[in-house]
Amino acid sequence: MQFGTKAIHAGVEPDPTTGAIMTPIYQTSTYVQAAPGDHKGYEYSRTHNPTRTALQNALAALENGRHGLCFATGMAAIDAVVKLLKPGDEVVSTNDLYGGTYRLFTKVFEGFGVKFRFVDMSDLANVEAALSPNTKLIWAETPTNPLLRIIDIEGLAALARKQGCLLGVDNTFASPYLQNPLDLGADLVMHSVTKYLGGHSDVVMGALVVKDDALAERLAFLQNSCGATPGPMDCFLVLRGLKTLHLRMQRHSENGAVVAAFLAAHPKVDKVYWPGFPSHANHAVAKRQMKDFGGMISFTLKGDRMDDALRVLSSTKLFSLAESLGGVESLLGHPASMTHASIPREDRLRNGLADTLIRLSVGLEDAGDLVADLQQALG
């Protein structure tokens, strides 16, 4: 079954009671049992809900996995992964990653005795050098947030197998349409469902997809025990969003290519970070493991003046200044003060995240209008 067909049909069936083609919103907290333990597979909605089950099955199908697990937020999904570890275990993570992930790692789990090493994973030699006998998890984003670095997932998987540890990949920027980490050897894939999977800036959710039955059982135990599960209305909204994921990602990628080319040619723009450029570091890896290059772009201005960057951020008409990404509308943000403010400034600068970096989430508007908006803002 091809991706577009799976996006529309996978995980969902007509409602057996009414024949409704759309999965019902099972807005219930509990389920009547004929006798103690005699039920229809559902006891309590923290543990299972039919709307959530349909979504979890759909996500598993799109990532070519066996098990999907949905969480109230993307951070709750990552939290469940790290809870697989114990004090003394170590995690090797990319040094260019979402600020909320960095905060969870360093401000929460380091306090419980888990150690984190942050390295530039675009060179796998850095990852190999950081591994130790205590390394139990390798955590990667690719493309990374916000510098769009590309990490070789197959190469990471080989290192993880040799180490005997798990490999987790945050696939939020790519989506299952552009990239499937499980097919490349990852043990689990994570999504901030809030972004491209929902696609309409109207829901907050996270998800994990795995192939291994035992790993899925451990994660499901944490999902139920810790209770950070989404409600049925949110699951319904994401199921609806998935049906156009392939169409949206095609347009995001097309518009991203146009906007990236415009920025690269603009006299006021210094660096443009977009993996579709042949000059982009690890472009060949991106071309091999991704179907296309997406609609996420970051750039800096010549002169590196904060005032110039702030003027651009406050001058656009179609690009809205806001956190998040992946919706139908175009957004722009300032990572240093918004999505990555929780990372100490010295760490941001050391990792290449300049104070003047601007991040774009290129939406589905007409590409010409988006270019015109950036042209006037840069002018």
> Tell me, what CATH number does 341's domain have?
3.90.1150.10
Question: CATH number, domain at 149?
Answer: 3.40.640.10
Overall domain count for the chain:
2
Same domain flag for 190 and 231: yes
pLDDT in tens, 344-355: 898 898 888 889
The token duo for 358 is 């601007």
pLDDT in tens, 184-224: 999 999 999 999 999 999 999 999 999 999 999 999 999 99
pLDDT in tens, 138-148: 999 999 999 99
The token duo for 288 is 């091999």
**Residues catalogued as catalytic:** 46, 98, 170, 195
Using DSSP, state whether 148 is helix, strand or coil.
Answer: coil
Predicted confidence at residue 339, as pLDDT, reads: 85
Same domain flag for 206 and 64: yes
Same domain flag for 221 and 270: no
Domain hosting 112: range is: 3-242
What's CA 133's distance to the chain center, in Å?
29
Predicted confidence at residue 304, as pLDDT, reads: 81
pTM of the predicted protein model: 0.96
Between CA 261 and CA 76 the distance in angstroms is: 36
Q: Which residue has the tokens 């590196």?
A: 304
The token duo for 84 is 């697989």
How many other CB atoms are there within 10 angstroms of residue 35's CB atom?
Answer: 6
Using DSSP, state whether 50 is helix, strand or coil.
Answer: helix
Same domain flag for 251 and 341: yes
> For residue 173, how many C-alpha atoms fall within 13 Å in the half-sphere facing its CB?
31
Among 377, 365, 206, 205, residue whose Cα is nearest residue 295:
365
The residue out of 219, 242, 265 marking a domain boundary is 242
Q: If you average pLDDT over residues 21-41, what whole number do you get? A: 93
What's CA 324's distance to the chain center, in Å?
11
Using DSSP, state whether 358 is helix, strand or coil.
Answer: strand
Query: Which one-letter DSSP state was computed for residue 114?
Result: -
